[in-house]
């Protein structure tokens, strides 16, 4: 059996999420996204067998190959940086987490319109201003969100952020609270129903939940270290 300890790990994570909501939280519902990048299709099927219905990937070709062979019914999330020349694959995903520019918004709009569908997206915000990470600066969130409001084939359902990789809780909370503030900006810019906060990974998801995360993206804590 692939990933024989996964069921125990999923239950432990859910218990920790529940405890984090008790300590803090904002009354939100939290969904676990199993990040299966670099793992094979068996990781996706194993996650689904453990009751995890949401799966995250960050490379287009890798996930398209998996989609061909995965038997489980899951919701696919694209969580990595999306190049404009790969946006034709976007309609395969329930949610794109990484919209961070007008040009990418235009490309996603075209891809969705061609399929006659509405694509759910998150605005990725780089709260800490880290050069190595994608995401729009907090000061630019309002303008980008207002622009997307004029694109009929895109639906902004919230905000995504990646906190700095650190054990410093003050730094983490600053990043996560900044993402929560960005969500308020997005809502005010014409996306009043946006409510998702995609933030928190294996090293910081409990703090993220305390700060309002609705989607946590977990790989290592579920499947072990990647190859």
Paired tokens of 36: 């299966």
Residue 132, classed as helix, strand or coil, is coil
Condensed to tens digits (0 to 9), the pLDDT of residues 169-217 reads 999 999 999 999 999 999 999 999 999 999 999 999 999 999 999 999 9
b/e map 50-79, b = 16+ CB within 10 Å: bebebbbbbebebbeebbeebeeebebbbb
At 111-148, the pLDDT tens digits run 999 999 999 999 999 998 778 888 999 999 999 999 99
Q: What is the pTM of this model?
A: 0.95
List C-alpha distances in Å: 157 to 38, 77, 129, 192. 27, 13, 23, 9
Mind listing the domains of the chain with CATH numbers? 6-223 (3.20.20.10)
Taking a C-beta distance cutoff of 8 angstroms, is the pair 155, 192 a contact? Answer: no
Distance CA 218, CA 214 (A): 13
Please name which of 57, 43, 94, 115 lies closest in space to residue 196, comparing C-alpha atoms: 94
Q: Which two tokens stand for residue 119?
A: 């694509």
Calculate Rg over the CA atoms of the chain: 17
Helix (H, G, I), strand (E, B) or coil at 108: helix
User: Given its phi and psi angles, is residue 38 left (phi above 0), alpha (psi -120 to 50 degrees) or beta?
Assistant: left
pLDDT at residue 1 greater than cutoff 80: no
Q: 226 and 37 in contact (C-beta within 8 Å)?
A: yes
Q: What are phi and psi of 160, to 5 degrees?
A: -125, 145
d(CA 227, CA 39): 8
156-177 pLDDT, tens digit each: 999 999 999 999 999 999 999 9
């Amino acid at each position: 059996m692939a990933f024989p300890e996964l069921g125990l790990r999923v239950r432990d994570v859910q218990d920790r999420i529940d405890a984090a909501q008790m300590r803090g939280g904002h009354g939100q519902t939290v969904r676990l996204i199993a990040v299966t990048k670099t793992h094979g299709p068996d990781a996706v099927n194993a996650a689904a067998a453990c009751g995890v219905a949401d799966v995250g990937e960050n490379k287009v070709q890798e996930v398209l190959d998996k989609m061909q062979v995965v038997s489980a019914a899951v919701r696919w999330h694209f969580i990595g940086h999306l190049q404009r020349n790969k946006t034709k694959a976007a309609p395969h995903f329930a949610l794109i987490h990484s919209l961070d520019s007008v040009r990418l918004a235009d490309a996603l709009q075209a891809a969705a319109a061609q399929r006659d569908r509405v694509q759910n997206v998150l605005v990725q915000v780089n709260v800490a201003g880290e050069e190595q990470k994608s995401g729009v600066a907090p000061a630019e969130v309002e303008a980008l969100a207002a622009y997307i409001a004029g694109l009929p084939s895109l639906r902004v359902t919230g905000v995504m952020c990646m906190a700095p990789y650190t054990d410093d809780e003050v730094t983490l909370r600053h990043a996560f609270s900044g993402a929560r503030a960005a969500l308020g900006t997005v809502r005010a810019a014409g996306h009043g129903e946006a409510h998702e906060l995609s933030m928190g990974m294996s090293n910081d998801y409990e703090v993220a939940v305390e700060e309002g995360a609705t989607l946590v993206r977990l790989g290592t804590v579920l499947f072990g270290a990647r190859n």
